[in-house]
Structure 1
C-alpha cells in the first residue's frame, strides 16, 4: 500500500508542505487524506521519522502563535469576550470561575505533606538498607517511629 511512500515526504519541500497544512489548521486525518494514506499510517510515520513529526509539530505551534496573537490583539482592542477568555486562561488563580474551597485547599495541602513524608520515609529506608538484617530492622523501626512522631506533631500543629 504505502510502503516506501514516506521517503517522498522526507524531502524539504514536502516537509514544508506538511508544516503549512498543519499551520493552516488541518487535522492529522485531513493531512493523511491529502497524502493519500490512512491516518494510522501517518501516526506510524510520525513515530518512525522525526522530520515528519517535527514538521507537523512546528506547523501546529505556528498556528497556536497566530491564534494567540489574534486573541491578544482583540483583547487589547477592547473585545470583552477576548479579554475574559485571556484572563481566565492566563491568570487562572484570580479569574477562574471555580475556586477551591478552604476545605479543598487544606485537603490538597495535607495530601502534599503526606506524600512528602512518604518520600522521606522511603528514602530513609533505602539509605538504611546496609548492615545485617537485625541492624537494618532496628534502624528502620527507630526512623519510622521518629517520622511518625513528626507527622503526628505536624497534624496537631495544623489543628
Structure 2
C-alpha cells in the first residue's frame, strides 16, 4: 500500500512539473524565442530539445496552445519571406539560376520541364483527377460496407456506374480520349 501511495505522489509531482513547463513557454519573451528559433531554421526536434521536452510534447502543445503554434508559424513564415526576398533580388540582378527557379515556381503554366504538349498535360491532369476519384470511391465503398453491409455497397455501385458514364461523356466532350 505504501508503494502505491509513493507512486501516486510521484505521478502527481510529474504532472505538476509538466503543467508548469508549458506555462513558461506561453510567456511573451519565450514566445519570441520560439519564433526566433524557427526563423533561424531550427526543426521542431531541435526546438523541442532546446525547450527540454520531446518533439511529441511540442506537437501536443502546438495543438493545444495557439500562442506556441502562432510563434512557430510566424518564425517559419519570416524565414520564407526573407529567402523569397533574397531569391527575387538575385533573379532581378540577373542570376540565371534564380530566374529559372523563380519562373518555374511562380509561372508554372508557361515555364516547366514537361515535354508534354498542352493537350497531353490536360489529359494527364484528367487522368490524375480520375485516379484520385477512384481512390476516394474505394474508400467510400469500404466505409459503407463497414457501416451498412453489402446492400449499401450495391446502391453505391449503382450510383458510381452512373457517375462513370457521365465522366466518360464529359471527357469525350472535352475533346480528349477516355481511358480504356
Q: Which TM-score applies when normalising by structure 2?
A: 0.60
Higher relative contact order structure (alpha carbons within 8 Å, sequence separation ≥ 6):
1
The offset of 1:103, in angstroms, is 3.7
Distance 2:55 2:29 in 1: 21
Closer, same or farther: CA 105–157 of 1 in aligned 2, 3 Å: closer
Closer, same or farther: CA 3–156 of 1 in aligned 2, 3 Å: closer
1:29 to 2:41 alignment: no
CA RMSD, Structure 1 to Structure 2 (Å): 3.2
1:105 to 2:122 alignment: yes
The answer for unaligned runs of 5 or more in structure 1 is: 116-143
Which residue pairs with 1:78 in the alignment? Answer: 94
Closer, same or farther: CA 94–46 of 1 in aligned 2, 3 Å: same
Distance 1:68 1:61 in 2: 10
- 2:114 match: secondary structure: coil
Closer, same or farther: CA 15–70 of 1 in aligned 2, 3 Å: same
The answer for unaligned runs of 5 or more in structure 2 is: 1-13, 134-161
Structure 1 stretches of at least 4 aligned residues deviating more than 6 Å after TM superposition: 110-113
Matched positions, count: 130
